[in-house]
RNA sequence: GGUCCUGUGGUGCAGUUUGGAGUGCACGCCGGCCUGUCAAGCCGGAGGUCGCGGGUUCAAAUCCCGUCAGGACCGCCA
């Protein structure tokens, strides 16, 4: 047990129990709530990080909300019938003999109770007040426990934590860089790291063998519920390993983190190929907590006369007992599907009299019967169908599935999934060159090496893998290419000439020449992991001082202009706003 | 860059559809009463540029246009 006593206090408020009865204690904390009963009796709930204790004081004290107090008094059992079972400390109370007001306080800008959902900007502007709330205290603790457990697990597995620089060279790949002007070399810039990717691979060449880092990463892209400019990663790389070895290391670490927070070890993590994830869940980050899995109906319409279904793929989902979903709602869903990229949405209600749908008349009896059989549909069910290219049909059905069935993050348990065998390329650029799905150093599947440069390059599988938790992409990794001829083959397939390659990744390619061990790695987004484990839908709730969606910090006012002298020293000028 | 939603005393909301006096609810705040409360209770009180600007109208929280801030999402995030 940690000893929390200091020169100013003997105990923490929330720690007092029936065993402490008879002790004289000194406590420090904030006035959470007070209940006055006239001149001679008042109850003050005193709050610190550990919780709340009822203090009995003389009513003459002027103790307002959020005053900071030091209270000395005797712990005693509460009188008959007045124990509070809703409070961990509810069996006892402290009868104050001395109350020192350490600081007075204005009324807080918003209520600190758990019942009110306060405007987030207001919370962020007064984050120091917001952080006093039990929810935030808990989230900060969850976060600290996650990182501590992960550090422990990585150390246990023999990994060495190596720090990498924050001021790095800008590279054209990937996300937009945050950039720092160089004073010594005006006109030149450092970039803040999007990830330690290149450095961690260099540690492999440096013989580190098992590298990890709890690393801050920065990307200047638009913010979302699961994305901030700055975020933390567990960054991992190891030599003389397969992808499976890496997944075992990472599973250990996230398992330890989950156990540290919830008390339960999540157990073995299931694996699923990317193809299967797309086919069954319409997403590369499948949320397997609920059903509504995608059904492939392409075969049924192989020779259909219904023009809308004369597509490479027809996919759908069966909504059990969904037939009572209103026409209005169905129109809404159709609109969403169009926004997501589909040409439309076909809905069918299965009634006693068969399929009820605006398009039923275009479908043959065989097709209708085939649908009912394939979806195992029952009277009262609703079928939703999207016909398109395979990827679009999967994508749209996947979003539809989430829209209709996704439970709150606190429900349905925690389900980690490895998604493996990602495609090496995810499409083609304007010049007709394939675009790497992960990065250009990702090792292709050995069996698919022969397809490089061929006609069906999108079918090439890579040794890249993602870790998914309840539909959140927690992280990704891959086996890296360490053989020169393979790297040359891939760069050639990407349409990158040797000269261009040297210009863009020269120092890494150089490093490959001096003896590169086979290596593979991974990175886990710690903010996301923490959010899911804390039961929060938004990573801002597990970050002490986050930014708003527009990238501003309501507390400090960042970003702010800087003065002209400062700019001049850096050799910078600011353009007038456009328009 | 785009789509959608939100903005009303300190806080959370209702009012906006169908224009008619800043109308209402809960919490908080200030004062009074109250010796066992714990979301204490009772009585009284203060507190408003309906985000901002413009327009329509006899009249705008309400309708229209613009703008700012926030949120969810698409694009983007190798």
In this complex, which residue's CA is closest to the C1' atom of nucleotide B69? A121
pLDDT score of A384 more than 90? yes
Q: What is the percent of chain A with per-residue pLDDT over 90, rounded to a whole number? A: 78
Confidence of residue A218 (pLDDT cuts 50, 70, 90): very high
All structural domains of chain A with their residue ranges: 13-103, 123-270+518-579, 291-405, 422-462+483-516
Query: Which nucleotide is closest, CA of A124 to its C1'?
Result: B70
A151 CA to B75 C1' in angstroms comes to 36
A250 vs A457, residue with greater confidence: A250
The answer to whether the CB of A27 falls within 8 A of the CB of A70 is yes
A116 CA to B15 C1' in angstroms comes to 21
Q: What is the mean pLDDT of residues A318-344?
A: 86
Nearest CA to A519 out of A208, A198, A161, A201 is that of A201
Q: What is the C-alpha to C-alpha distance for residues A332 and A403, in angstroms, rounded to an integer? A: 11
pLDDT score of A362 more than 90? yes
A120 CA to B20 C1' in angstroms comes to 36
* CATH classification code of A123-270+518-579: 3.30.930.10
A224 CA to B72 C1' in angstroms comes to 8
Torsion of CA A87, A93, A97, A98, to 10 degrees: -10
In this complex, which residue's CA is closest to the C1' atom of nucleotide B26? A116
3-state secondary structure of A528: helix
Q: What is the mean pLDDT of residues A58-68?
A: 91
Nearest CA to A293 out of A390, A370, A373, A400 is that of A400
Mean pLDDT of chain A: 93
A369 CA to B2 C1' in angstroms comes to 41
Q: What is the mean pLDDT of residues A330-339?
A: 84
Query: Which nucleotide is closest, CA of A176 to its C1'?
Result: B77
Residue A12's φ and ψ, nearest 5 degrees, are -95, 150
The answer to whether the CB of A111 falls within 8 A of the CB of A129 is no
Query: Which nucleotide is closest, CA of A437 to its C1'?
Result: B78
Query: Which nucleotide is closest, CA of A473 to its C1'?
Result: B77
Check residue A39 and give its pLDDT.
84
Confidence of residue A56 (pLDDT cuts 50, 70, 90): very high
In this complex, which residue's CA is closest to the C1' atom of nucleotide B2? A339
pLDDT in tens, A401-442: 998 888 989 999 999 999 999 999 988 887 888 888 888 889
A489 CA to B68 C1' in angstroms comes to 52
Fill in the DSSP letter of residue A132: T
Query: Which nucleotide is closest, CA of A106 to its C1'?
Result: B29
Nucleotides of B under 7 A from a protein CB: 1, 3, 10-13, 27-30, 33-41, 69-78
User: Between β-strands A472-479 and A519-525, what pairing exists: parallel, antiparallel or unpaired?
Assistant: antiparallel
Q: What is the C-alpha to C-alpha distance for residues A350 and A507, in angstroms, rounded to an integer? A: 62
A132 CA to B53 C1' in angstroms comes to 39
pLDDT in tens, A498-542: 888 888 777 888 888 899 999 999 999 999 999 999 999 999 999
Of the CATH numbers 3.30.1360.30, 3.30.420.40, 3.40.50.620, 1.10.8.50, which one belongs to the domain with range A291-405? Answer: 3.30.1360.30
Q: Could you tell me how many residues make up chain A?
A: 579
In this complex, which residue's CA is closest to the C1' atom of nucleotide B3? A339
Query: Which nucleotide is closest, CA of A123 to its C1'?
Result: B11
Query: Which nucleotide is closest, CA of A175 to its C1'?
Result: B77
In this complex, which residue's CA is closest to the C1' atom of nucleotide B32? A38
Query: Which nucleotide is closest, CA of A119 to its C1'?
Result: B70
Query: Which nucleotide is closest, CA of A81 to its C1'?
Result: B36
Task: Please report the ipTM that was assigned to this predicted complex.
Answer: 0.93
A332 CA to B45 C1' in angstroms comes to 50
Which secondary structure element, helix H or strand E, spans residue A149, and what is its range?
Answer: helix A134-156
Query: Which nucleotide is closest, CA of A111 to its C1'?
Result: B11
Q: What is the C-alpha to C-alpha distance for residues A164 and A432, in angstroms, rounded to an integer? A: 36
Can you name the residues that pair with A346 across neighbouring β-strands? A385
Check residue A473 and give its pLDDT.
96
Joined together, the tokens standing for residue A106 give 């204005």
Question: What are the C-alpha distances in Å from A131 to residues A137, A449, A504, A537, A549?
Answer: 6, 53, 44, 18, 20
A120 CA to B14 C1' in angstroms comes to 21
pLDDT score of A579 more than 60? no
Check residue A336 and give its pLDDT.
83
Output the pTM of the full model.
0.95
The angle at the Cα of A247, spanning A147 to A264, to the nearest 5 degrees, equals 50
A115 CA to B10 C1' in angstroms comes to 17
A545 vs A435, residue with greater confidence: A545
A578 CA to B1 C1' in angstroms comes to 15
Domain A13-103 sits in CATH 3.30.870.10: no
pLDDT score of A335 more than 90? no
Q: What is the C-alpha to C-alpha distance for residues A184 and A74, in angstroms, rounded to an integer? A: 64
Check residue A578 and give its pLDDT.
62
In this complex, which residue's CA is closest to the C1' atom of nucleotide B30? A107
Q: What is the percent of chain A with per-residue pLDDT over 70, rounded to a whole number? A: 99
Check residue A329 and give its pLDDT.
82
A119 CA to B10 C1' in angstroms comes to 13
């Amino acid at each position: 047990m940690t000893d929390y006593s200091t020169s100013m206090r003997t105990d923490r408020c929330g720690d007092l129990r029936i065993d402490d009865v008879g002790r004289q204690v000194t406590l420090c904390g904030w006035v959470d709530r007070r209940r006055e009963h006239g001149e001679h009796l008042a109850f003050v709930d005193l709050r610190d990080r550990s919780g709340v204790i009822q203090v009995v004081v003389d009513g003459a004290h002027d103790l307002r909300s959020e005053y900071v107090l030091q209270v000395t008094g005797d712990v005693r059992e509460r009188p008959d019938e007045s124990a509070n079972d809703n409070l961990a400390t509810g069996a006892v109370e402290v009868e104050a003999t001395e109350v020192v007001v350490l600081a007075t306080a204005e009324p807080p800008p918003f209520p600190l109770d758990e019942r009110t959902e306060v405007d987030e900007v207001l919370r962020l502007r007064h984050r120091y007040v917001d952080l006093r709330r039990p929810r935030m205290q808990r989230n900060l603790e969850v976060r600290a426990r996650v990182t501590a457990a992960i550090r422990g697990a990585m150390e246990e597995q023999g990994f060495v934590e190596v720090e990498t620089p924050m001021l790095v060279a800008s590279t054209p790949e990937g996300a937009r860089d945050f950039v720092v002007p160089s004073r010594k070399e005006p006109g030149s810039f450092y970039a803040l790291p999007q990830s330690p990717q290149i450095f961690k691979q260099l540690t492999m060449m440096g013989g580190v063998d098992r590298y990890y880092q709890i690393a801050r990463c920065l990307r200047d892209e638009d913010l979302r519920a699961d994305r901030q400019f700055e975020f933390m990663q567990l960054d991992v790389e190891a030599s003389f390993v397969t992808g499976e070895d890496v997944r075992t290391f990472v599973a250990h670490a996230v398992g330890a983190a989950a156990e540290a927070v919830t008390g339960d070890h999540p157990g073995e993590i299931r694996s699923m190929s990317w193809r299967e994830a797309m086919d069954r869940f319409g997403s590369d980050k499948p949320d397997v907590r609920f059903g509504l899995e995608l059904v492939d109906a392409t075969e049924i319409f192989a020779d259909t006369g219904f023009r809308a279904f004369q597509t490479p793929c027809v996919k759908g989902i069966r909504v059990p007992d969904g037939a009572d979903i209103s026409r209005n709602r169905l129109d809404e869903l159709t609109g969403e599907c169009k926004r997501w990229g589909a040409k439309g949405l076909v809905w069918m209600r299965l009634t006693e009299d068969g399929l009820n749908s605006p398009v039923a008349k275009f479908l043959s009896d065989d097709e209708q019967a085939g649908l009912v059989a394939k979806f195992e549909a029952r009277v009262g069910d609703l079928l939703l169908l999207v016909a398109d290219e395979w990827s679009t049909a999967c994508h749209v059905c996947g979003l539809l599935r989430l829209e209709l069935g996704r439970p709150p993050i606190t429900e349905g348990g925690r389900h980690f999934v490895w998604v493996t065998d990602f495609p090496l390329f995810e499409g083609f650029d304007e010049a007709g060159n394939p675009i790497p799905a992960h990065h250009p150093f990702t090792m292709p599947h050995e069996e698919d090496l022969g397809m490089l440069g061929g006609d069906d390059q999108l079918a090439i599988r890579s040794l890249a893998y993602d870790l998914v938790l309840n539909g959140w992409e927690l992280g990704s990794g891959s086996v890296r290419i360490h053989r020169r001829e393979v790297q040359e083959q891939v760069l050639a397939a990407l349409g990158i000439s040797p000269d261009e390659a040297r210009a863009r990744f020269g120092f890494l390619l150089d490093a490959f020449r001096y003896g590169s061990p086979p290596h593979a790695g991974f990175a886990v987004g710690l903010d996301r992991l923490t959010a899911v484990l804390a039961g929060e839908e938004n990573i801002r709730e597990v970050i002490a001082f986050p930014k708003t969606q527009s990238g501003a910090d309501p507390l400090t006012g960042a970003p702010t202009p800087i003065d002209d002298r400062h700019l001049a020293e850096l050799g910078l000028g600011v353009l007038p706003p456009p328009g």
